[in-house]
Amino acid sequence: MHRKFWIGALALALLISLGWGWNEYRLAGKYRTATENNNRRALNDFASHLDQLETDMAKGNVASNPAQKILYLSQISSKSEAALKDFAQIPAQQTGLSYVGQFLTQSGDFTRILAQRIAGGGTISGEEEKTLRDMHERLMPVNQQVQDLILRMDTEKLVWTDPDPSLRQRLGLGTQVAEAAADGSEAPAKSVRSGLDQLDASLQKLPPFSYTGEYATRVVEKPLGLPTGEVTRDQSLERARDFLDKAGYANATPEFAGESQGPLGGYVWNFKESYLEVSRQGGVITLHRDQRSIEPRTLSLEEATSKAKAVLQALGWKLVITSSEEFGSYVQFDAVVEKDGVRIYPDKVRLMIALDNGQLVGFDASPYYAFHHERTFPTKLTMEQAVRKLRPNFQVVESRLAVIVKSGNQEVYSYEFRGRYQGEEYLVYLNASNGTEEKIQRIIKTPRGEYLK
Amino acid sequence: MKLHIRPWGMVITIGLLLSIALSGLAYAALGDRLLGRGSKGPEVTELQKKLVQLGYSVGSVDGKFGSKTEAAIRRFQKERGLRVDGLAGTQTIKELKRLTGQSTNASGKAVGYKNIDTNLLARAVNAEARGEPYIGQVAVAAVILNRIKDPAFPKTVADIIYQPRAFSSVDDGQINLAPSASSIRAAQEAINGSDPSGGAVFFFNPAKTSNKYIWSRPQIKQIGNHMFTK
């Protein structure tokens, strides 16, 4: 009697498990198909955009009519953006720079700059024509290999990424599979991902393009504003204690927490919950952040602003505060250099004042030390001449001279006009030498303060 | 002596009882009364929604002011520099409403929350760096933003975060957890330009990674459990 009951119960359990398993298997199959479809779409779109890109580059090379040239150059730029977007959706390995992506970005960037220049009435130099042709040359094999990959996907049923080692191999029983060579060996790729990796590797070996544009250079390699001379670890401790003393942390005893590398690198110090970085070159404080818990606020925004000015003076900075953002228990201020009435925005220092006791809980001078240098200003239009270049009906509220940063790391000496037009408030920057519009920013009021976009 | 209950007295008593009972049910707007442990109703739901929007998790949004809601109110008050008492009074509610309002242009027209990238960035920070010190969270957000400027990476925040297999916490779904308030703050700081990572475009946990490629990248600095590299 008991036996029958147990057999029945177990049989039922088995049936339920089988049913559940079957259902899961079907669902997993559906998800796999959906993902596969998406990956396929991305790869096909990528290949198709790449192909159109190659054709447009070929046509752009021979077009001589400026209008046609602008057309093709703009198309190249937008197709490369589209190709990049699709490329970002193909399954990647977890790490790795993408030289394919870099190549696409730079082609798009370069052609966009050329198109803008021609649209403004300029011409392309012989050097730049050569760069365009080089880009086309480099694109052709990339295009061919991607199309080849797709063909092999259909004929050889390539998988997306190299298969993870099977159970047998993990247990050490199977033969070791040679790692898919990502160093450009000629063995055909076993998966779409390693095929793209080989493409990547072959592009990596080629010299980079040189042109001036947004993506031509990465981060500032050499900081311009650091004082000369190197400091030792003990000297940096002295600087750290001096800084903390002036910021309101009396008798601080920082502990060494390691070193940081890079152009602004140096010595990292911890004090209670503070994090402090002193640069190796010049021995200046580049970063300070106190992560202590902050008590209920007792200061208003105005009081915090005057505390900020006071601490900047105590630390020896001559800066002007340009904006504030409040985070509830602390306020963040941006302060920049103002020289001869010209506001120099790239030379920026960011500081945070706690609203419970006015202490300096955050300090970031890395933009200042990266970009500050002696600047000479070219001859400029007068204020009246500049105002005349603004669009009609733009009501100016404030105006001044300023140095701003354009895309890439280019600095522009300009007139800054803050004003209203059609119910919106803007910051309009006109080039001080010739009055062309360089940059426009829109001012929005958010719950945390003004926001420029 | 027999208790003589006058008819008027009855009416007034019943009226009082009813009004007290119904006051909880009648639709009241957030801010009308002090809310604390035990409060119930649509205003509590609104309170909970606003807390969640700002990153203070309340468990489930159910209209009941329980211990989780009280804890969230306390965290909110602490981070905004208000007096911490666990009750949603005028000051607290005013601050909540202000912070969850839409941004406006110069003439006061609402233009939306303007926080699409911030939200996604906050989720990524929460997924990748939940237990890290605050400055480490800002650094993780900065790494994602640094990738936008780098030609070798995709060009939008969403493309970078959702690039298949680029971030392990995106692949395993942790990106879908609601971001904590400190992740939101870290994302906002990074978008403002703070970069404690020193220009890094990669980060990894040295104790958990043996990937040769990432170990070969030039290292910049270590914050908390993460090593940041170029």
- Write the Ramachandran bin of B203: left for phi over 0, alpha for psi from -120 to 50, otherwise beta: beta
Q: What is the mean pLDDT of residues A25-47?
A: 89
Query: If you search the block for the tokens 């339920």, which residue do you land on?
Result: A16
- For chains A and B, count residue pairs whose Cβ atoms are closer than 8 Å: 162
pLDDT, position A187: 62
pLDDT tier at A6, thresholds 50, 70, 90: very high
Give yes or no for residue A16 having a pLDDT over 80: yes
Q: How far is B200 from chain A (nearest CA, A)?
A: 10
Helix (H, G, I), strand (E, B) or coil at B226: strand
Note which residues in 396-425 of chain A have CB less than 8 A from chain B. Answer: 420, 423-425
For position A313, what pLDDT does the model report? 92
Is A120's Cβ below 8 Å from some Cβ in B? no
The answer, yes or no, to whether residue A171 has pLDDT greater than 70, is: no
Q: Using one digit for the tens of pLDDT, what is the confidence trace for B12-37?
A: 877 777 666 555 555 567 777 888 88
Within 8 A of B51 by CB-CB distance, chain A residues are none
Structure tokens at A404: 């701003």
Given a cut of 70, the residues of chain B with pLDDT beneath it are 1-5, 18-28
Give the span between the Cα atoms of B203 and A17, in whole angstroms: 43
Q: Min CA distance, B164 vs chain A (Å)?
A: 5
Residue B190 · residue B134 · CB < 8 Å:
no
Whole-angstrom distance, CA of residue A305 vs CA of residue A321: 8
Poorest-pLDDT segment among A18-32, A323-337, B101-115 = B101-115
Is residue A453 within 8 Å of A440, Cβ to Cβ? no
Q: Which residue has the higher pLDDT, A261 or A121?
A: A261
Residues from chain B that touch A259, judged by Cβ atoms under 8 A, are 221
Residues whose CB is less than 8 angstroms from the CB of residue B208 and which lie 6 or more positions away in sequence, other chains included: none
Q: Name every residue whose Cβ is closer than 8 Å to that of residue A228 and which is 6 or more positions away in sequence.
A: A281, A282
Chain A environment of B222 (Cβ under 8 Å): 258
Per-residue pLDDT of B71-93, as tens digits, reads 999 989 988 888 899 899 888 99
Chain A residues 206-225 within an 8 A CB cutoff of chain B: 215, 218-219
Global pTM value? 0.80
Identify the residue whose tokens are 């906050």.
B122
Distance of CA A236 to the CA centre of its chain: 31
Which pLDDT does position B129 carry in this prediction? Answer: 92
Nearest CB partner across the interface for B106, out of A259, A294, A425: A425
Query: Mean pLDDT over residues A67-77, rounded?
Result: 90
ipTM of the complex: 0.79
How many other C-beta atoms can be found within 10 angstroms of the C-beta atom of residue A400?
14
Q: What is the distance between the alpha carbons of residues B17 and A250, in angstroms, rounded to a whole number?
A: 61
**What span, in angstroms and rounded, lies between the C-alpha atoms of B203 and B223?**
10
Look-up: residue for tokens 């630390």? A315
Give me the mean pLDDT over the A30-42 stretch: 87
Q: What is the DSSP string of A329-393?
A: SEEEEEEEEEETTEEEEEEEEEEEEETTT--EEEEE-HHHHHH-----------HHHHHHHSPTT
CA quadruple B87, B89, B92, B93: dihedral sign: positive
| pLDDT of A384 higher than 90 | no
pLDDT number for residue A222: 80
Cβ–Cβ of B220/A262 closer than 8 Å? yes
Residue A146: what pLDDT? 86
Higher pLDDT, A170 or A185: A170
In A201-273, DSSP assigns E strands to 255-259, 266-271
Which residues in chain B are contacts of A331 at CB distance < 8 A?
none
